[in-house]
Chain A
């Protein structure tokens, strides 16, 4: 590479990264600024809006509900998807394409369109199963399918499932033991990945909850924002920063787990 071109490339990179950095950091900074504003332009910085988060019953309830939904959805996703994917890989490989297609289907059915079909279904669910807001987990499990499927599929592809399960079964292990003591301990980072993606999606979900008249975190944030934009902005930026921290943890822990866990057939 010639010297002048290297210099040009360097200038190009610096300019692009600075401009993009400004575009992406300014709104986050502006949110922090907005959420610490006093009542007046001249009044000093205040954390009142952040304090008001805890004092707004709707927001607290929304946070609790969304956290519960996140846990239920993640566990439900693992309970439904992981055994199915293992079973299909071992016993029914010829339908693996169908399972993949179905799992990726929510990517092509926009949530706003899916909710139109879910509405009559939820009328029935609310009457016959439960009127609780936690019933949203049924729909959320569908929404997280594509992301969880990809994460778990990558994890399953990295271990020699057939050898591991055959070895376990020849030593007398049943399916439950194979799942809980052989497969799950061998793919911790994929399971963590799938769970965290589900948690992130559920915590940010607004479309389905809003249109089915359930109050989760995002619906409450939008509602509170109508009267007290500062507090809503504080919640929004808090959630975003939390997401950044979670993802950084995932990248660090994920990388470490990947190195530690046992991968049969992979030579050092």
Chain B
């Protein structure tokens, strides 16, 4: 990458001489800012998580993660993230396919894409209220179903449990999938299907041997993105579950706001680092799969 001859300067006539140090000045404010408010906090998390209260390097903060209730907390977070990512990816892909098979310049496609843009960002406090108003115990849909003899909470009110959270997360996972997976579906040429047919292939053959393998990396990559998205989410569960901290972000919240006597910043930093590491691994895989997709997608 370095050896490509880069046209470094715009000032042609006065060229020559050593302008190298000067040209860095323009980038200084940016690097100073991100250094202070992005890289420094990240460093605080990384260094803090391996520093003992009295100073010195330690892994004792991570010992705090290796507890039975912490495994449960991580299992909850990972469970909700995996299920909402897979379900969101499948449903989002189906919706994206329904969109792609329509008129490419039609009003339907444009409005679904715009709506997806808004709804994919619609995680947060408002989402919690939206579902409380829908299938909460006084919610519109719940009350309507109950008056027609269907009690979705007959056995237990699962609304505040992982199944409920997963359902709520689908509200932003499906639109996100539509946004990120649609370009891959757009890259599929109708000619490939015609070619399959002219060679005697059935619909099954087409999906199994042509479209499926082509879309698989994109689909997998988008699923990973959805996983990272759900795993990082905090606002909705924070607004919905006002007591208890059964998810990793809520554990961090409890440790940070420190209402308990033994406030443990080290453990909060260790949890934060664990989250960052999981997301970094997932996003790296996502980037690799995206690169593979972009090879044939033009």
Contact = CB atoms under 8 A, between A and B. Distances in A.
Interface stretch (A67-75, A83-91, A259-267): A83-91
Chain A interface size, under 10 / 10 to 19 / 20 to 34 / 35 or more: 35 or more
A59 interface: no
A51 interface: no
B102 A80 contact: no
A34 B139 contact: yes
A204 B98 contact: no
Interface in B115-136: 115, 117-119, 121-122, 124-126, 128-134
A121 B235 CA distance: 22
Contact of B45 (A12, A16, A92, A117): A117
Contact of A91 (B8, B33, B133): B8
Contacts of A27: 130-131, 133-134, 171
Contact of B129 (A94, A165, A232): A232
Interface in B263-298: 268-269, 271-273, 275-276, 279-280, 283
A58 interface: no
B12 to A, nearest CB: 7
Interface stretch (B51-59, B65-73, B251-259): B251-259
Interface string A210-249: 1101000010011001100100110011011001100110
Nearest to B248: A112
B16 to A, nearest CB: 15
B63 interface: no
Nearest to B110: A251
Contact of A95 (B27, B126, B271, B272): B27
A176 interface: no
Interface string A160-173: 00100110010000
Interface residues on B, range: 35 or more
Secondary structure at chain B's binding surface: helix, strand, loop or mixed?
Answer: helix
Contact of A207 (B102, B126, B234): B234
B249 A117 contact: no
A91 B37 contact: no
Interface of B: 1-2, 6-12, 23-24, 26-27, 29-30, 33-34, 36-45, 48, 91, 94-95, 97-98, 101-102, 108, 110, 114-115, 117-119, 121-122, 124-126, 128-134, 139-141, 170-171, 174-175, 203, 228, 231-232, 234-235, 238-239, 242, 249, 252-253, 256-257, 268-269, 271-273, 275-276, 279-280, 283
Given A83-B26, A121-B36, A225-B125, 19 more contacts: A30-B130, A84-B26, A94-B8, A102-B38, A110-B232, A110-B279, A112-B249, A112-B275, A116-B268, A117-B45, A139-B37, A218-B235, A221-B129, A225-B129, A232-B129, A237-B126, A240-B130, A243-B118, A244-B118
16 contacts: A27-B133, A33-B140, A34-B133, A80-B33, A87-B27, A105-B42, A110-B232, A111-B234, A116-B271, A116-B272, A117-B40, A117-B42, A117-B43, A117-B272, A169-B10, A243-B121
